[in-house]
Amino acid sequence: MPLRPLDQSSKLKNVLYEIRGAALEEAARLEADGYSVLKLNTGNPAAFGFDAPHQIVRDVVAAIPSAHGYTESRGILSARRAVVTRYETEPGFPELDVDDVYLGNGVSELITMVMQALLDEGDEVLIPSPDYPLWTAMTSLSGGTPVHYRCDESNGWQPDLEHLESLVGPRTKAIVVINPNNPTGAVYSRETLEGIARIAREHSLLLLSDEIYDRILFDGARHIPLATVAPDLLVLTFNGLSKTYRVAGFRSGWLVVTGPRAHATGFLEGITLLASTRLCPNVPAQHAVQAALGGVQSIDALIAPGGRLHEQREVAWRGLTSIPGVDCVKPDGALYLFPRLDPEVHEIHDDAKLVYDLLVAEHVLVVQGTGFNWPHPDHLRLLTLPEARVMSEAVERIGNFLASYRQ
């Protein structure tokens, strides 16, 4: 008797994660054939020689003999206390208690838990375009409907508040804010954040703020936590160790809850329930949190003028903007560039094919803009983690490719 076909769930219909998509499979095949591929697709600091601070590694190693069992479902007390202390030093951040902190296996797990606790079938979540695609994917997988509000490239990729407000409907539950933004590197102004808070206040919406890059800032840019401009609203702030502290593989993130709770008791109980069902976060990685947040902030030297992250961004941005028909808003934060290909010069109809053809021709792997829920095939996202010399070579290869590429 033949076995019944097993197809993927229909819930995956709107799930997109091109950062690790089909082009990555081709890159693996090329590497298996002996080619060297420069991967500018995933923000993985360790792959580019960024070592974790030794204090973090030391504390994790020291904790391993006693980290064999489950912990409290929210996470160990010392790590949650360190998160509270971190925000106590942030001017204007609402008061926190350790029970307002949930540790997670990276921010990704916490996003999944929150969306599952929040959404019923057909509920809507307002998500920026372009976005980090996990937000759209987890909204869809949780039964919700992602609705994308436009970020304005001509205004430094700040969210278009008028467009955002026009999308609010009777089923809208929340607004997602990604600041500093992935993929654009935009750092939002106080005016923008206050505008988003006003919309949330007028329509009684939950605010979900992804601030994983809040300490990767350039040229004097200042990050303003969304919770500081909306102390009267329920705000969930997501952050973690993966980028600032270069321990992406530890999967060590946190969620903090601020603002009024009386109207959201059931929702918050749902997060706690889901935290319990996964038993607890990865225990050794929890012991990294206190060492990271309480020690020397080595990221400061990397983002300062002359620092490696600062110089790599400079080299990549200058190189891209020197390519005919390519322009790029200079990012104030994060680890990415989101250049635009002028349609008058580069007539691209399928940006996924462009990415694939670039990989085959030049062995450089980037991600197409539509992979970040940008509606037009005219952008690419590049990582700025490789050393300046390698970054310069990668951009040169992209320029050489675009000079003769036609679709």
The domain segmentation of the chain, as residue ranges, is 10-50+301-404, 66-294
Rounded to 5 degrees, φ, ψ at 170 are -65, -20
DSSP string of 226-241, one letter each residue = HHHH-TTS-EEEEEES
Identify whether 225 is preceded by a cis peptide bond (ω within 30 of 0): no
Confidence band, pLDDT 50/70/90 cuts, at residue 13? confident
pLDDT at 276 over 70: yes
Number of residues written out for the chain = 407
Q: Give the pTM.
A: 0.93
pLDDT at 118 over 60: yes
Calpha distance 386→164 (Å, rounded): 35
Confidence band, pLDDT 50/70/90 cuts, at residue 241? very high
Residue 204: partners with Cβ closer than 8 Å, 6 or more residues away = none
Which region holds residue 188: left if phi is over 0, alpha if psi is between -120 and 50, else beta? beta
Residue 119: partners with Cβ closer than 8 Å, 6 or more residues away = 125, 139, 142, 143, 144, 173
Confidence band, pLDDT 50/70/90 cuts, at residue 358? very high
Superfamily of domain 10-50+301-404: Aspartate Aminotransferase, domain 1 (3.90.1150.10)
Domain 66-294 sits in CATH 3.40.640.10: yes
Confidence band, pLDDT 50/70/90 cuts, at residue 18? low
Calpha distance 95→201 (Å, rounded): 19
Question: Residue 187, class by beta-carbon neighbours within 10 Å (0-12 exposed, 13-18 middle, 19+ buried)?
Answer: buried
Identify whether 130 is preceded by a cis peptide bond (ω within 30 of 0): yes
Matching CATH topology for 10-50+301-404 and 66-294?
no
Angle at 271 between CA 269 and CA 275, to 5 degrees: 115
pLDDT at 31 over 90: no
